[in-house]
Structure 1
């Protein structure tokens, strides 16, 4: 068994990053700031039908982010039972950041640009907000990737003591 099998840890981090990134989007932008909803319908803002439609689609969105988060937790649990996958905080956190960035890029391209379901902050400068959302996603992916690469040198056994990586 190779002690360099980081794939399962990266997968767990990516799934958790996508799920938690979705929760940040849904909780912060949909609920707290109320800038948009998953399906921002073009009806008057006080229309009961619009409110129900938006709540339904936001609920489906949150159900999906919950499933992604649960999949990430389940994957992480399975990783913890494997002796061939070294623990690395940098690899795991890097994968989570990359997953969050992946969520932003995919959601931003599909929902904001391609399908025009909603925008980050509709109104004046909405394109700037949408582009900023994408740029933030790309930055998260880049930082996550760099952190994950740095984590390749980590080799932490199950006891939690750091062991130097053997020379190549």
Structure 2
């Protein structure tokens, strides 16, 4: 290392530190899109609206009764609280790792690539666990239920692949103070 300058490896180490915050932001924001769009606006499902819940020992709560809607609304609230904590944690980590060049970071392909990876991972994990393993709800319960669930997973995989390609091909963003020789 040359005194007063930084090696390429040092810049890459600092740039790589935005991966986890970006993934957490993406997972939280992806959860918000799911919860707001699918749970609230379209009302396609809520957290415990699948009849498959009985096979894992969870009671079925249909959304077409007042009690069922109350229980599902409460569980949707817990879901939103978790997604909010993911976003808050991602922002806190990102803020703690960025000591200068914040403007460049928010417009960087690196960060938004990692956010897309996080959103895709949310879709894949939530889709596999909730829709297929636990069966507590499905994207949409109708004659095409399986296709909706598969489409959700395909969207997740496309988001991961697109995000990975976006951040992988981007120039590193310097996010911390340059290292100096001691």
| Alpha-carbon shift at residue 48 of structure 1 (Å) | 1.6
State how far apart, in whole Å, the 1-side matches of 2:91 and 2:116 are: 15
State how far apart, in whole Å, the 1-side matches of 2:62 and 2:155 are: 31
State how far apart, in whole Å, the 1-side matches of 2:142 and 2:114 are: 34
Partner secondary structure for residue 154 of structure 1: coil
Moved over 3 A (4+): 41-46, 154-158
The number of aligned residues is 155
TM-score normalised according to structure 1 size: 0.85
**1:3 equivalent in structure 2:** 11
Determine whether 1:114 maps to 2:122: no
Determine whether 1:59 maps to 2:77: yes
Partner secondary structure for residue 169 of structure 2: helix
Q: Is the 8 A contact 1:8 1:75 kept in 2?
A: no
Question: What 5-or-longer segments of structure 2 have no aligned partner?
Answer: 1-5, 51-59, 177-182
Q: Is the 8 A contact 1:105 1:134 kept in 2?
A: yes
**Relative to 1, partners in 2 of residues 1:106 and 1:59: Cα closer, same or farther, differing over 3 Å?**
same
| Alpha-carbon shift at residue 106 of structure 1 (Å) | 0.1
Partner secondary structure for residue 21 of structure 2: helix
Question: What 5-or-longer segments of structure 1 have no aligned partner?
Answer: 159-168
Question: How large is the Cα RMSD of the aligned pairs?
Answer: 2.1
Partner secondary structure for residue 17 of structure 2: helix
TM-score normalised according to structure 2 size: 0.79
Larger Rg: 2
**2:36 equivalent in structure 1:** 27
**Relative to 1, partners in 2 of residues 1:43 and 1:68: Cα closer, same or farther, differing over 3 Å?**
closer
Q: Larger relative CO (CA 8 A, sep 6+): 1 or 2?
A: 2
| Alpha-carbon shift at residue 154 of structure 1 (Å) | 3.4
